[in-house]
Structure 1
Amino acid sequence: MSTPTATPDIAEDIDLRAAPLEPWQVVVWNDPVNLMSYVVRVFRTYFGYSVDHATSLMLAVHHDGHAIVASGPRETMEVHAQAMHEFGLWATVRRAPQ
């Protein structure tokens, strides 16, 4: 006598390709608390930006109210935003426009 074998129902038409990585952005917002020199120092020490690039971003934050300081995978951007919070900066993460 033969033992019956169980055959699971398998949907063979499932697409198993990985979803494309969507870019996300870290936005730092202007605040009335932090000095401009401090914001430049944070961008330089945390992101490793040059003086000119960090200053340009700080001026965008100051004059425009915000600046995109980093872009990449969502999880990485969430880590960066948390780091900005730990430095006392107001930062959010948003999906990059397509």
Structure 2
Amino acid sequence: MDWRLFANLAEAAGTKRVTVEAGPGDTFGEAFEQLLVAHPELEAEVLDEDGEIRDHIRVLRNDHDPFVKDAGHDTVLEAGDELALFPPVSGGAR
């Protein structure tokens, strides 16, 4: 399963795409843990002092937040899922 990383998160990891061992039948939480094991430098960027995903970090599974539409960390992954991690987005039209 691949994670797509954006902006400063891609810079911190040194790559825009990270492949982890998690696959269909594994959970989103397992895939997220594997991402942090592969790139521990991301921990300070995405986790708060309690080890939870920071409020301003956005995670996506197939273009939606698994903590809103699915079962959060317990969301079971399916073949073809796309996972992504975004920092806060700013800017826009004036």
State TM-score, norm by structure 2: 0.29
Larger radius of gyration: 1
Q: Which has the higher helix share?
A: 1
State TM-score, norm by structure 1: 0.28
